[in-house]
Structure 1
Amino acid sequence: MFVDSHCHLDFPDLANNLDELLRNMIDNQVTHALCVSVNLTDFPRVLALAKAHDNLFASVGVHPDYENLDEPDARQLEQLAGHPKVIAIGETGLDYYRLKGDLEWQRERFRQHIRAARASNKPLIIHTRSAAEDTLRIMREEAADQIGGVMHCFTESWEVAQQAIEMNFYISFSGIVTFKNATALKDVARKTPLDRMLIETDSPYLAPVPYRGKLNQPAFVRHVAEEIARLRDTDLEAVATATTDNFFRLFKATRDKYHTIH
């Protein structure tokens, strides 16, 4: 069985077909999914999804791409994370690819999320793009290793992965690892220890081969696992078991309580 460790089922393209997506998960042995928050305005609908479906979980956080917001502070995030179906803080982090100029506000926002994670004892979901050095530096300065988490939709080097793993983080692979030109990332997937690996879709984005360019969905996460198994010359079951066990270990989620798919 598989777990999609990062998706956005509240986004309109997916939310409008939720029943079909949940059935597709069943058909592809995807038992659970984590619905990830990108801003606090839409967080209630993320939480509502998790509350309505036993096999869905939620996170709370503000994506680094969202500008000109009332900045969340650690206490506010900690309070919102109080619901038992909220199992992570994020997604948070740094993104120097889409935004330019003075991004100190982004770095401060990231710090607030790390502090909230430590206070709430819930792991971090970290987004980093064109900002690996500062991301790792702030993780160290804010003692992110004390709570751990996941480097989501990982696209950085093996050296960055090693440093994150040393700080008690998991490496999560998305559909990008199935892309023909993702040779460096495929190498990271070969080298990352299975006990430090997660899989995700980042739906509705980044659909894996053979669905590249189409709308992504949690059911497609099995294709990520299949590619990792191929790259490592191992059984698909080994990747499925490891990544599922890693998910429940990291997020301290009880799979028995949430086993039912409606």
Structure 2
Amino acid sequence: MKKFIKLVLALGVLFFVASPLVQAAVPNTPINWGFKKASEGRPADAGKQHEQLLEKYGAVYKGDSNKKEIYLTFDNGYENGYTNQILDVLKKEKVPATFFVTGHYLESAEDQVIRMVEEGHIVGNHSYYHPDLTQVDDARVKRELDRVKKLTYELTGQKHMSYLRPPRGVFSERTLKLAKDAGYTHVFWSLAFVDWNTDQQKGWEYSYNNIMRQIHPGAILLLHTVSKDNADALEKVIKDLKKDGYTFKSLDDLFANKEFDNPMLHKK
């Protein structure tokens, strides 16, 4: 009898080790998004290690560097009085954008969010409370994303929410996997600068020059709507880039041209 019990235990251990259902934990080491900035039209470069990790989970930070296409994105943590100005410019110039919103923004700037969707823009997920997603458990990550998605739908009727920008640009392989499993694509950026300090605005030329200095084919721009500099510079940025042969595309356009397995891509 004892030999039989030992045999059963041994087989159980063997099954536990060999079973494909038993997988090692996905690494949760926090990574701060960063890259070598673009210059003179050469695209930004996040490095081989970052790019391989992003590719594994279908995440992006730039588009095709052989096409003069630009993807305009904004992060909306709170309303500072400039979003309508930005929306006015986008409407006038017929330029699409994606706005990554938090729960606070949804709760406090309903009219702006409704207008975004009504005018053909995409609302993306920036989490509800803006935590470091690598420092909260799986259930909390899901709640953060679900609440933003649900409230956006209730406000605007946007049924699908497919794009996620992690708070503070902090992520890990674990959070990449969690997001992908939930039907989200991480969207990072290849062009950004310090534009969020509302008490350190420097004038429209500061924003304009930073954008034009770093612009490159396939750029995904990250701008913050709290910036007066951005709002004041945006129209000239768009007009001058159009003159230089650039076209502005939405994230849906980017993924429509990628071989990427995500059945929950945003659809109007």
- Of Structure 1 and Structure 2, the greater strand share is in 1
TM-score by length of 2: 0.44
TM-score by length of 1: 0.45
Greater relative CO, 1 or 2 (CA 8 Å, sep 6+): 2
Higher radius of gyration, 1 or 2: 2
